[in-house]
Structure 1
Amino acid sequence: MRWKGRQGSGNVEDRRGSSGGGGFGRMGGGMGKAGLGIGGVIIVIIVMLLGGDPSAILGGASTGGSVPVRTENRANTTSETGQPTDDMGMFTSVVLKDTEDVWNKIFREELNADYPEPKLVLFSGVTSTACGQGQSATGPFYCPADQDIYIDLTFFDELQNRFGAGGDFAAAYVIAHEVGHHIQKQLRASDYVNSQRGRVSKVKQNELSVRLELQADFYAGVWAHYADKWKGVLEEGDIEEALNAANAIGDDRLQKQAQGYTVPESFTHGTSAQRKKWFLKGYQTGDIRQGDTFKTNDL
């Protein structure tokens, strides 16, 4: 992905204990040396196997409160927030800026609305959010209460080292997917899914969750379509990196790796094939009208 030398977003808040770290290669090698200790992705797998939502790890329901400007790391020391200065952080900032440019234009020209840009918070280990305490174990997540995105960048090490889904555009796909959840909040798709909790069966709720996640994958594809069309960001192999990441985090593949078999009624994010399909559909069409995953029987 062509990102160096391009403008980053002003909506990135760096809460990491230090802003060090190296760059990363075309296939994602060296995107930071630190791991998640217990293995954040494994915890997410366990939650999905139980038919749950990884956001449940955050410590409770959304409170609607504000996120503090200062936060504590695991050593109980405080660190100032600011803009990232390392390669990983600056890359994330550039990707976020690209999403802002794409969605501002789509909202203005196709939806006749303003696009409220989300803030992206980089953190290490744990951090405060309006949805409770955010943890690396959840992987990247979107908090609807404060409408911010939270990422511990060591997640991308897990994605590469544990699942073989590295690369800068694989990371960009993950970021764009979380922005997709922000789009859903603005268009009230996520509000609809949340309103059904306790009113439908667990199996039906899981199905709605799958549709929500696949739509976020679609929106990530729409972003890729226009980011390349307008800025020429893609390099050879980038789309393959995104599809490889989508394939790596499909419910069926994760469950098969974790326990040797799948339980389709417990899926909450979609199969590998579904995730690749909807990302690719967004990328190929760039048409947000074709991304209503709630009105199709062909997931």
Structure 2
Amino acid sequence: MEWKGRRGSRNIEDRRGRGGAVRAGGVGGVGLLAILAIGYFLGVDVTPLLNDPGVGGAPAGSEMTEADRAAGEFVSVTLADTEEVWARVFEEQLNRAYTPAVLVLYKGVTQSPCGGASGATGPFYCPGDQKVYLDTDFFTTMSRKLGAGGDFAAAYVVAHEVAHHVQNQLGILGKANQVRQQVSQAESNEISVRIELQADCLSGIWARGAHEQFGSVEPGDLEEAVNAARQIGDDTLQRNAGQRPMPHTFTHGTSEQRSRWFLRGLQSGDLAQCDTFAARTL
């Protein structure tokens, strides 16, 4: 992915290196099925795989490393790309303006209206303040523990969380979560899966736009994104943690579903094709 030297977003809130950040420490002893409820269960929960004490974050007030700075610049450029792509899609397909999300960068632990954020929660979008929360150490986790390395795989993660902001702007997220509060846990999980698969589809629309508008997509990039979608499927996460996949606990969708809906958005570029709530089968 060609990103160096390109425009970055101004909608970045960088909390890294502040005294308020503390080390999260290891995540040992967390139960496999403890899907972390970050506000609306919208984060990528990799708790079962985060048993490495080094994954937890950075000590309070730690200095920014060169890798930290590079990761911040990368996220800023990726966020800027999402802003331009969604501005065009909203105008062309909806005849309305797109209001960008703010992305919070942190190391270790931070707070949001949806609850605490740490290395165990993965990136997530909080509708309460319309911000995406991301510890860039998650990119290392993706590469080393989830088998989903590469710049475009990391960009897909950012795009997926921004897609939740798109859902929020369209009024989809609020309605879906309102229904979730009124139904059983199993039904709530099913709605969550539809939310997440739609975000994957919207991420595909972003990838198509990034290729068409910026020419930043290089050979192999799309394969990285599809692989990332597969590696963070509920069935794959549970299987890699040594457990039998249990569909009734899924909140994000299977690896096959996640990659397929991403490709649907990529191939169509059409918001109407991402209506997972109208789909009879996922």
Could you tell me the TM-score, scaled by structure 2's length? Answer: 0.85
AA of the residue aligned to 1:132: G
Cα separation, 2, equivalents of 1:39 and 1:238? 31
AA of the residue aligned to 1:3: W
TM-fit CA distance, 1:197: 2.8
Residue among 233, 253, 259 paired with 1:270: 253
AA of the residue aligned to 2:234: D
| Partners of 2:113 and 2:129 within 8 A in 1 | yes
| Partners of 2:17 and 2:60 within 8 A in 1 | no
Aligned CA distance change for structure 1 residues 123 and 110 (closer, same or farther; 3 Å) = same
Q: Name stretches of at least 5 consecutive residues in structure 2 with no aligned partner.
A: 43-56
Q: Name stretches of at least 5 consecutive residues in structure 1 with no aligned partner.
A: 19-34, 59-72
* Structure 2 equivalent of residue 199 of structure 1: 182
What are the superposed Cα offsets for residues 129-171 of structure 1, whole Å, 9 maximum, x if unpaired? 2223322221111110000011000001111101111000000
| Partners of 2:202 and 2:265 within 8 A in 1 | yes
Cα separation, 1, equivalents of 2:192 and 2:68? 36
| Partners of 1:51 and 1:206 within 8 A in 2 | no
Question: What SS class does the counterpart of residue 283 from structure 1 fall into?
Answer: helix
Would you say 1:298 and 2:281 are equivalent positions?
Answer: yes
Cα separation, 2, equivalents of 1:51 and 1:127? 19
| Partners of 2:24 and 2:118 within 8 A in 1 | no
Residue among 146, 156, 164 paired with 1:163: 146
**What is the total number of aligned residue pairs between the two structures?**
262
* Structure 2 equivalent of residue 9 of structure 1: 9
| Partners of 1:221 and 1:283 within 8 A in 2 | yes
Where do 4+ consecutive residues of structure 1 move more than 3 Å?
50-58, 73-79
Cα separation, 1, equivalents of 2:95 and 2:74? 30
Residue among 136, 145, 150 paired with 2:119: 136
TM-fit CA distance, 1:204: 1.0
* Structure 1 equivalent of residue 54 of structure 2: none
Cα separation, 1, equivalents of 2:134 and 2:166? 17
* Structure 1 equivalent of residue 45 of structure 2: none
Aligned CA distance change for structure 1 residues 15 and 280 (closer, same or farther; 3 Å) = same
* Structure 2 equivalent of residue 68 of structure 1: none
Residue among 187, 190, 210 paired with 2:170: 187
Cα separation, 2, equivalents of 1:161 and 1:4? 23
RMSD over aligned Cα, in angstroms? Answer: 2.7
| Partners of 1:53 and 1:268 within 8 A in 2 | no
TM-fit CA distance, 1:37: 4.5
| Partners of 1:249 and 1:272 within 8 A in 2 | yes
Could you tell me the TM-score, scaled by structure 1's length? Answer: 0.81
Would you say 1:213 and 2:196 are equivalent positions?
Answer: yes
Question: What SS class does the counterpart of residue 241 from structure 2 fall into?
Answer: helix
* Structure 2 equivalent of residue 286 of structure 1: 269
Cα separation, 1, equivalents of 2:248 and 2:273? 25
